[in-house]
Amino acid sequence: MQLQVNNLTLKYPGAPNPVFKDLNFELKAPGFNSIFGPSGVGKTSLARILTGDIPGFSEKIDHRGMTTFLYSYNLERLPGWSSVGKHLIKVTPSDRQDRREKLVSVFGLEDCLQQRFSQLSLGQRNRVNLLRYLLQEFDLLIMDESLANVDEITREKILLTIKAMFPNTHFLYISHNVVEVAKFCNDIVVLRGSRRQPQSAIVPGQDARIGQEIDPGKLDRTMLEIVNASS
């Protein structure tokens, strides 16, 4: 499975400049990859194009071996009339009950199952939203600030677990946290804006796994590469 973007151009009506102009990049293998860049360079627009929420670009996207794309973002809401636990049970396929129970534990949501979504904190809501996507069938899951407002220790535990559970699946992680992106992601697509050439650069990340120690010096160098690529 691979993901390739070929000569992608996007300009919103009335906007003075395009978001993308002949954007190209390629992610050759499944894994936990990232879209990174400053505000306004089109990270969310690119995510919506890849998932088909912005239609008309299918000929610009080569996603050989992938058919199901999902998009999780941090402002989604669940219906407020049932408990979180009941909702998760309802959306869980019959063969994924064990996966749900494991993720509830890893995500630290045991005490939230009897509550309604509206009663949860922002971090709890984001964890619930992401968890329900991980219970579905997908070839690519885009996580757009999906773990915002989640504490660092829990966020790291979640990211490492996802990578261990889905080693052969494509993920695109959108985050403004350069340390997190550098540490946990494999390839980092740095978007630089349509007026920059090239518009994107790919920086290899440290791709941390469970039980793996990351060399601080290597992590610092990766973060510097990311910052330099985006500036």
Residue 149's CATH number? 3.40.50.300
78 confidence band (pLDDT: 50, 70, 90) = confident
Residues ≥6 apart with Cβ < 8 Å to 222? 182, 203, 204, 205, 206
| 126 token code pair | 């984001």
Neighbours of 54 (CB within 10 A): 15
Q: Which of 45-54, 69-78, 141-150, 208-217 has the lowest mean pLDDT?
A: 69-78
Residues of the chain with pLDDT > 70: what percent? 99
pLDDT exceeds cutoff 80 at 113: yes
The DSSP H or E segment spanning 78 is: none
Above 70 in pLDDT, residue 38?
A: yes
What does DSSP assign to residue 231?
-
The model's confidence at residue 43, banded by pLDDT at 50, 70 and 90, is: very high
Query: What pLDDT, on a 0 to 100 scale, did the predictor assign at position 66?
Result: 87
- Quickly list H helices, the chain: 43-50, 84-91, 97-106, 122-134, 152-165, 178-184, 216-230
**Domain range spanning residue 50?**
3-230
> Has residue 101 got a pLDDT over 90?
yes
> What was the pLDDT predicted at 1?
67
**Number of compact structural domains in the chain:** 1
Residues 39, 193: contact at Cβ < 8 Å?
A: no
Tell me what the mean pLDDT of segment 2-6 comes to: 91
* Predicted local distance difference test score (pLDDT) of residue 195: 86
Q: What is the mean pLDDT of residues 17-35?
A: 93
